[in-house]
């Protein structure tokens, strides 16, 4: 089996809420023996409000995930110990893609 991590040390799985990002990322992590960083949706205080009023709470909900990811990435020891990383959810550049 080809190991994509030899060429790409970071793989990001993105998609809408409930699309299976975490499931796919966990499966890839287990299959290739890599690290897995899961989005902590249960820690996002804006998520319940987002489901009630998406227009009003979309930005704070996304910013929470983005800032948490920035915090996690800033704490990494360079190079990341243990090899590759799979991030489910977002890249740090998600706000710059549009």
State yes or no: pLDDT of 12 exceeds 90: no
Residues 79-87, mean pLDDT to the nearest whole number: 61
What is the domain range of residue 28? 4-96
Task: Specify the pTM.
Answer: 0.64
The total of structural domains in the chain comes to 1
Q: What is residue 93's three-state secondary structure?
A: helix
Read off the pLDDT of residues 33-82 as tens digits, 9 standing for 90 and up.
777 877 788 899 999 999 999 999 989 988 898 888 778 777 765 555 55
CATH number of domain containing 92? 3.40.50.300
What single DSSP character describes residue 79? S
To which residue do tokens 């549009």 refer?
98
Contact (CB, 8 A) for 87 and 37: yes
Q: What is the pLDDT of residue 97?
A: 45
Closest CA to 48 of 20, 17, 94: 17
What single DSSP character describes residue 45? T
Res. 30 pLDDT band, cuts 50 70 90: confident
Tell me which of 93 and 31 has the higher pLDDT. 31
Tokens describing residue 90: 């977002």
């Amino acid at each position: 089996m080809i190991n994509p991590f030899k060429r790409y040390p970071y793989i990001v799985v993105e998609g809408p809420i409930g699309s299976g990002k975490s499931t796919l990322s966990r499966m890839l992590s287990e299959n290739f023996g890599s690290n897995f960083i899961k989005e902590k949706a249960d820690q996002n205080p804006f998520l319940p409000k987002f489901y009630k009023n998406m227009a009003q709470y979309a930005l704070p909900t996304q910013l929470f995930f983005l800032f948490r990811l920035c915090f996690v990435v800033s704490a990494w020891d360079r190079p990341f110990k243990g090899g590759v990383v799979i991030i489910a959810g977002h890249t740090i550049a998600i706000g710059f893609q549009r």
